[in-house]
Amino acid sequence: MIRFHLKCEEDHEFESWFQSGEAFDKLVAANLVNCTTCGTTKVRKTIMAPAVSTSSRITAPKPSEADLAALREKVEAHSDYVGKGFVKEARDMHDGLVPERPIYGEANLNEAKKLVEDGIPVVPLPFMPRKKTN
């Protein structure tokens, strides 16, 4: 995982984590990286000093309930829920069989690992989807 300092065309600055630099490039090319302030997909990396810890134990800040609720609202408003068809849909988009679009759904750990191993960028969400398909 790698953290990038980002800036949008409106000069809003924010940070986000990505599987790799290549995964970031693919997500930006597919317009899947949005500014956290204005929502634009015209986002670029900026210069960032490396984070160096003097402690052997690094603790990441825990997101608040409000942060998680805002993330859920953004994902649900700007992505299509594909349920248990997530793995197939992600793979089909990656292979160019269907048009790319932001999606979210369900996959088990082994399926998600296989997608990442195959160069398909995926990110686990810190909440369970509200939408369920039958």
pLDDT reported for residue 58: 62
Alpha-carbon gap, residue 115 to 134, rounded angstroms: 24
- Is the pLDDT reported for residue 49 higher than 80? no
pLDDT reported for residue 18: 84
- Is the pLDDT reported for residue 59 higher than 80? no
- Is the pLDDT reported for residue 134 higher than 50? no
pLDDT reported for residue 50: 60
